[in-house]
Amino acid sequence: MFSDWPLLSLVIWTPILGGLLVLTTGSDKQAPLARLTALFWSVVTFLISIPLYTDFETGTAAMQFTERHEWIGSWGVFYHLGVDGISMPLILLTTFMTVLVVIAGWEVIKERVAQYMSAFLIMEGLMNGVFAALDAALFYVFWEAMLIPMFIIIGVWGGPNRIYATIKFFLYTFFGSVFMLVALLYLYFQSDSFAILDFHQQALGMTPQLLIFLAFLVAFAVKVPMWPVHTWLPDAHVEAPTGGSVILAAIMLKLGAYGFLRFSLPITPDASQELAWLMITLSLIAVVYIGFVALVQQDMKKLIAYSSISHMGFVTLGFFIAWQIYANTGSYEGAAMGISGGIVQMISHGFISGAMFLCVGVLYDRLHSREINDYGGVVNTMPVFAAFMVLFAMANAGLPGTSGFVGEFMVILSSFKANFWYAFLAALTLILGAAYTLWMVKRVIFGAVANDKVAALQDIGRREFLILAILAVAVLLLGIWPAPLLEVMDASVENLLLHMTQSKVIP
Amino acid sequence: MNFTMPNIAPALPEIFILSMACLILVVDLFLQDRQRVITYLLTQLTLVVGFVLVVMDFSQGRVLTFSDTFVRDPMADILKACIFIAGFVTFTYSRDYLQRRQIYKGEFFVLGLFAILGMMILTSAHNFLTIYLGLELLSLSLYAMVAMQRDSVTASEAAMKYFILGAIASGMLLYGISMIYGVTGTLDLAEVAQQIPGSEKQLLLTFGLVFLIVGIAFKLGAVPFHMWVPDVYHGAATPTTLFIGSAPKIAAFAMLMRLLVDGLGGLHAQWQDILVILAVLSMGVGNIVAIAQSNIKRMLAYSTISHVGFLLLGVLTGTAEGYAAAMFYTLSYVLMTLGGFGMIILLSREGFEADKLDDFKGLNQRSPWFAFMMLIVMFSMAGVPPFIGFWAKLSVLKEIVAADMVWLAVVAVIFSIIGAFYYLRVIRLMYFDKPQDTSRLEMSLDMRLLLSANGLSVLLIGVFPGTLMALCLAALSGA
């Protein structure tokens, strides 16, 4: 019944306009009004995004809910939107997490509330735009514009070292993206169109493919982030306010992975295959090395930040082992499992890392410290919170029954078909992940009450309970019954594999 | 000797501005200081009427007059219309500032009008002499405008530097013109263009070309001929800086087009290489040195230099699309510059110039709206979408890639990243730091409104850049 509505435009522009409305509430005297308006618009956006799932046709890889209007006539740039099984779940993730972030910032943010809320709403719209854009110019506009609210969020509401962190964040990502811009321009002149789907069909020689792939790699690897361009992430995460960390981890990192799926793999399949070894190596380094780095962190946010990098390594690993599996087994099935596993991992990591950052935020709001050493025995004073935190920590470690298990298991399983050693190294993460997460939980949550401050802690209130409970349900639901998500993406993943395995080099 | 009356219709806007400038000069003599607003209003009225005259009679084709020394074509009309807008905005921003510093004199506006007349002549020139005439009219007015604040040491120094270096540049230009005249025997741009391909004295032509380009590069402020830019921008009173930084760039673009494309199009291969060097150096030096500045006027001066580099990139492609991209770049640069310097004027008050970067600290707490306007302008200058500066950079990059110079595009984007740093610093000061100075902003309502419109247009044209792009392309596809 909603198929005639411009749903994608609505999920992009409702939050942006809502955000501007929130801005007009002005000074902090009207903070309650700003909060309520922001909540209203984020909930409305989430509700609008639900039909994207319910009305989604699972059998086809074609773009759905498409909209196409001329934007810049002389260049052939179109306002062209559409989603497939890969981008649709990510849009839902975005609209869902934004609601939680708005609630999470409810009492915590006391200064310039209207600007805070509005920055998140505007960013939500822009991120939805990135996932929905089917025109390269439009995609790039959303992709870059998104940096502006995040820059402001970290810089204004962040921790003591926020200015260094936010400028580093901006310049790193800006650096990555401009190379993508040059690659997109090159593709534009090859295919005479800015449509991403036309890029997918465009035949390209091997050298251009390699160069384009590298240009894309810079852009997406910074965003994911992959080792060795990951160093902005721990800084940004640590300094960002809780809401900012959640959006960064839950959605912004996914943009890089999404970029691989939408651009690198289908546009430059031969180069991707050629350089798959590099990508697999980088992914495994992220999984294993960064896992060790996470182990020694003293700062909880930093630990989760490194764990995010390590988990995102699984995503890229899942994408780039596809050719070897295809070569080994001759069927798409195993390769599809790797890619699907990567996508499931993206969604699940969105929930889990978001939840972990929220948990740290809960503690930080009370004690204003993120140091693990300042805590201990929190379970004695905050039993409800402790239960949630342990659950999310288990999910982060990939315990079966939680969403963290599904994606990792699928990737490990399929990497067996590619190469035993990939699987072996990747499986190390189950141990490493368990080690750093559970060790942190042990030191923070369990044991004797560490000091007077911990002894004086209040358990979570209704608002915090609500957010964590919603996320807990999401994590468990996806862990026990991932089928709805997998069904949605099946056709699109298969279509993607078709592009990946067809050589585009002009003979 | 026969004298036929030339067709004066195409030059009507110029004639109107000239008459009005003379009239205002006379009227101003009879005004007392408190009646100065009449001069101001007359000047603004002149610009509005001039704008209407240009737009009403928008030319479709190319009309030559005054023995082919004057041309009116769509490019000239669009550029003139934009010069009028830029002039109007500049004068509106300037009024309060000038009043508070006792330099609210009729001469400022009259000189401004003569400078605008010079720009118009430059835009419509079709003869080396007309170009020189327009350029000198423009430059001499600007020297005087810089020197107007005669009690200020920095302004006098800036005027001196500007004058001497400008005179050298004019000399270079004339020398180049004389060489080309020596080879071709004509000063008419079209005839020069005709003679070039068949000429046997290519070496002499190239020499002439080099001197011409040196002259233009001086006027544009391209590296290595940029030394005067930071000093003049810094030393002059902010409204004068605003004036120098905005409309004359449009005229300089026109001059570049008239000389290199209309006149010396046949030497494209030669001037392309020279422009590549100038462009890369300008982007490099401009962006890197801007980082070290603590004065925002100097910072914007270096940013101008880097923008000039980008503008040259569009021109050096040698295609109509490339010229259109450069034109779009120029216009969006002017729009952003107006906003940037407008903000400095907005923050200044009597005895306080607000030209230190630190003066922008905590602006978000003092005035969230204008901090947001400055944020738009700064991100736009850095080339972040969805603002106009992004499309300007993108269109230039696109034509560079189309001209098969991908490496140059990569160089350009690397310098843009470096450039992003100092623009971000302004935003950081406005948003992340505590204000040092909490006094209220006290500029008049008309300036506030216009400045808001200026900032919003950077955003709005950024969201819908199609019309302006199509306009630029239409203006140049005939060229």
Task: Take residue B407 and report the two structure tokens written for it.
Answer: 């490496």
> Looking at residues B334-339, what average pLDDT do you find?
93
Q: B399 or A74, which is more confident?
A: B399
B283 CB near a chain A CB, below 8 Å?
no
From chain A, the residues in CB contact with B386 under 8 A are 141, 145
- Is A357 near chain B, with CB under 8 Å? no
- Residue A30: the pLDDT is 80
Give the model's pLDDT for residue A507: 59
Nearest CA in chain A to B473: A74
**Partner residue facing A170 (CB), from B368, B413, B424:** B424
Instruction: Tell me the C-alpha distance between A246 and A96, whole Å.
Output: 12
What does the DSSP 8-state code read for residue A72? Answer: E
The predicted pLDDT at position B262 comes to 86
Closest CA to B188 of B270, B68, B282, B91: B68
For CA atoms A339, A343, A346, A348, give the dihedral sign.
negative
Residues 6+ apart with CB under 8 A from B156: B147, B150
Closest partner residue to A175 (CB to CB) among B368, B379, B417 is B417
Residue whose structure tokens are 């087994």:
A329
A385 reaches B (C-beta below 8 A): no
In which band, very low, low, confident or very high, does the pLDDT at B266 lie, cut at 50, 70 and 90? confident
**Are the Cβ atoms of A144 and B469 closer than 8 angstroms?**
no
Q: How large is the average pLDDT for residues B384-412?
A: 89
Do B424 and A189 count as a contact with CB atoms less than 8 A apart? no
Write the pLDDT tens digit of every residue in B407-460: 898 899 899 888 888 998 898 888 888 888 777 777 788 888 999 999 999 999
- Confidence (pLDDT) at A114: 86
Residue A299, strand partner residues: A371
Say how far residue B186 (Cα) sits from the centre of its chain: 29
Angular region, B68: left φ>0, alpha ψ -120 to 50, beta rest: left
- How close A180 gets to chain B, by Cα (Å)? 10
- pLDDT tops 90 at residue B337: yes
User: In the prediction, which pLDDT does B242 show?
Assistant: 92
Residue A314 is encoded by which pair of tokens?
């699984």
Cβ-contact A124, A139 below 8 angstroms: no
As to burial, measured by CB atoms within 10 angstroms (0-12 exposed, 13-18 middle, 19+ buried), residue A257 is buried
Query: pLDDT at position A122, please?
Result: 92
Q: Cα(A272)–Cα(A129) distance, rounded to whole angstroms?
A: 26
B397 touches chain A (CB under 8 A): yes
**Which residues of chain A make contact with B409, given a CB cutoff of 8 A?**
182, 185
**Interface with chain B: mutation pick from A152, A154, A174, highest number of B CBs within 10 Å:** A174
Nearest-CA neighbor of A406 among A474, A304, A481, A497?
A481
Question: Tokens representing A157?
Answer: 């509401």
pLDDT for res B88? 94
* A-B C-beta contacts closer than 8 Å: 89
- Interface membership of A167 toward B (CB under 8 Å): yes
Average pLDDT, chain B: 89
pLDDT attached to residue B479 = 47
| A147–B385 C-beta distance less than 8 A | no
Partners of residue B420 in chain A, C-beta under 8 Å? 170-171, 174
Rounded Cα distance, A482 and B188, in Å: 77
pLDDT at B140: 93
Using a CB-CB cut-off of 8 Å, the residues of chain B touching A182 are 397, 401, 406, 409-410, 413
Q: Is B474 on the interface with A (CB under 8 A)?
A: no
**Residuewise pLDDT in 10s, chain A (507 residues):** 556 778 888 889 999 998 888 888 877 778 888 888 888 999 999 998 888 888 888 888 888 888 888 888 888 888 989 888 888 889 999 999 999 888 888 878 888 888 888 999 999 999 999 999 999 999 999 999 998 998 888 888 887 888 888 888 888 888 888 888 888 988 898 888 888 888 888 888 888 888 899 999 988 988 888 888 888 888 888 888 888 888 888 888 889 899 998 888 888 888 888 888 888 888 888 888 888 888 888 888 888 889 888 888 888 888 888 888 888 887 778 888 888 888 988 899 989 999 999 988 888 888 888 888 888 888 888 888 888 989 999 888 888 888 888 888 888 888 888 888 888 888 888 888 888 888 888 888 888 887 887 788 888 888 888 889 989 999 998 888 888 888 888 888 888 888 888 877 775
Instruction: Determine the residue among A20, A30, A71, A74 to mutate to test chain B binding: the one whose Cβ has the most chain B Cβ atoms within 10 Å.
Output: A74
Residues 6+ apart with CB under 8 A from A165: A154, A158, A159, A232, A235, A236, A238, A239, A240
Give the pairing of strands A64-72 and A77-83: antiparallel
Nearest CA-CA distance, residue B420 and chain A, Å = 8
Q: Is A181 in CB contact (< 8 Å) with chain B? A: yes
State whether residue A185 sits within 8 Å of chain B by CB. yes
pLDDT of residue A402: 87
In which band, very low, low, confident or very high, does the pLDDT at B119 lie, cut at 50, 70 and 90? Answer: very high
- Which residue in B397, B425, B465 is closest to A72 by CB distance? B465
Q: CB–CB of B466 and A186 under 8 A?
A: no
**Residue A1, pLDDT score:** 55
Q: pLDDT tens for residues B38-95? A: 889 999 999 999 999 988 887 778 888 888 888 888 889 999 999 999 999 999 998 8
Q: Is A72 on the interface with B (CB under 8 A)?
A: yes
- The CA distance from A223 to the nearest CA of chain B, in Å, is 16
Residue B356 φ/ψ, nearest 5 degrees: -90, 150
The answer to whether A175 faces chain B, any CB pair under 8 Å, is yes
Contact A141 B432 (CB under 8 A): no
User: In whole angstroms, what is the distance from residue B179 CA to residue A485 CA?
Assistant: 75
